[in-house]
Amino acid sequence: MQLQLIHLAFRQVLRFLHGPFVIFGVLLVALSNGPLLGQSLTTETCARPQIGSVVEEPADVRSKEGVLEINLTAFNSAQNDGSTRYCFTDAEGHESPNLRVNPGDLVIIHLKNAMTQPPHEEVQHIHSQMGGKSCTTGAMSIISTNLHFHGLTIPPVCHQDDVLKTSLQPGDPSFEYRFRIPDDEPPGLYWYHPHIHGFSKQQVLGGASGALIVEGIERAKKEVAGLPERVFIIRDQDLVNPNAPPSKSEPTVPKFMIDRDGDSANNGTGFGKPAKDLSINYVPVPYPDYPPATIQMKPGEQQLWRVLNASAITYLNLEVLFQNKPQPLGLVAMDGVPIGYGLENQTAAESVLGETHLAIPPGARVEFMVQGPPAGETGLLVTRTVDTGPGGENDTNRMLARIVATPDAPEPRSRLQNSPQPLAPPKMKWLGDVAPVRVRRLYFSEKLADPNDPTSAVEFYLTEEGQTQKMFDMNSTVPNIVAQQGTVEDWIIENRSQELHAFHIHQLHFLLLEYQGRQVQESFLRDTVNVPYNNGRLLTYPSIRIRMDFRDPNIVGTFPYHCHLLEHEDKGMMGTIRIDPEASPIAAQAACSSGKGDTLECNKSRGK
């Protein structure tokens, strides 16, 4: 069975350069690299490993007796090259620890803001309401902080997962997050990061992110029972060598182009200067030669890899290569939800999708089984170019890590249960079998400084059809969309711009139904999905159709939806939705009788 969006949907936005250029010169050099440069021993704030280091996994913080309690401190650290690093550090000094919880656990996070004003940078507040408590101030600047728990179905309220008003300033008392993991939260990979509107890109680009794992995936996917597991977080960062020419091993590419933000613009070749460097578990893999990090595995060992794209603006298209050949990857979960989770068909529910490459938008996650190289061989973890459109950034072919087979490879820190109790099926009906109460149409669009230059966007919009196109206003108290808990809706999202966008909504997952007008049959849910760019050659705008799930009572409240390219979100490509509580049957009938009820729901109750 093919993964629809990764093979069908990305067919028009991913370019895979096969043949003699499939493994460009620097990848071949990587296979014969010399000794590692070694781990950094520095204790500086937001320290990073050296280039070429062995990839170490983040420290694990596990719940105990149903409670995970942790102190986290937000730090920043100005660098000599003018960049600023950001990180969350626990009381033991571990940066961005993995938070490991079980369904039903209570999570208590004491968050402290210890950031300082970056040198030569004026601290400008985007949101004007100053003063007051952390729950209501909404004052957001480059040295403000908060936490968003990406993918979790928890209430969008203060002390849980509110990002619209909650903001901590340096010097504020420690702030407590306290929420419970729902009993029916799908087991898989989620993550946490700051969501400070106007500054999300800078903080996430600086490294402020970490993994949150809901345990029990082996209870949903018996194929992974007993496997050792690895957590890999891929982040992007400003170029270490921005003025360097491309590697001589690369083919000739057009002259460098930059967009209005100063990033390298998409040149359509898959080569040249990328918009951003990448790192894997903070080990940098910088342009132009991409010296790889090192992943150690026992020869032929099968592992479960949990991979998070915590990039601010970079799309990934991952492959594992042995002797230049893509290796099979057994996809078991997407965006924290196991493949087939919620399906009544047990055969489909227990399936693993065989893939050779995995496309991961910024903010998305994949969990897959991979087998290590045989003894004496070295593999590569690479990301292939993604075509982001004439207005997009340059996301190039590049390697991330050598996969070294050695009998002395250390045991991964975590291993899944050997004989788990099967997970009880979800209580709610499979989303694809629920009829929507309405269809909404939304669209991505941009304002260009030069109408003839698609890289000159200065304002970004995400608009519901019929509303006024405008940048998101943090001061507004009026939601863009109102829906009712207990219902399901279909959203058709168009892209009227010339660059690729990634749609994301907080608090819930959705089902992809159509891509570019073609039906897809996905057996999993998502919280982030790409919407292809407008190339100007089609009679209609590129679009997707997704089924939005508003049934869970935990999501009552107001929360955002936005493009997960964070510079787009920061510059206005965001909206809010308010989910009102489900009305009782008596109240609903009274509202219909008075003419104040939802027209579609009222007609449905009348049998129309």
pLDDT in tens, 479-529: 999 999 999 999 999 999 999 999 999 999 999 999 998 999 999 999 999
pLDDT digits (tens, 9 = 90+) for 578-600: 999 997 554 455 555 555 455 55
For position 353, what pLDDT does the model report? 87
Instruction: Supply the pTM of this predicted model.
Output: 0.90
210 in Cβ contact with 58 (< 8 Å) = yes
Q: Where are the beta strands (DSSP E) in 65-131?
A: 67-78, 84-90, 98-101, 106-113
| Residue listed under structure tokens 């003839």 | 452
**Which whole number is the average pLDDT over 527-549?**
95
**How many other β-carbons are positioned within 10 Å of the β-carbon of residue 466?**
7
CATH no. of 431-605: 2.60.40.420
Between the alpha carbon of residue 152 and those of residues 104, 156, 189, 192, 554, the distances in Å are 12, 10, 10, 10, 10
**How many other β-carbons are positioned within 10 Å of the β-carbon of residue 516?**
18
Output the CA angle 305-109-306, nearest 5 degrees. Answer: 5
CA 471 – CA 412 distance, rounded (Å):
46
For position 590, what pLDDT does the model report? 52
For position 136, what pLDDT does the model report? 74
Q: Residues of CATH 2.60.40.420 domain(s) within the chain?
A: 4-33+225-415, 60-215, 431-605
CATH no. of 60-215: 2.60.40.420
For position 583, what pLDDT does the model report? 75
Fold classified for 4-33+225-415: Immunoglobulin-like (2.60.40)
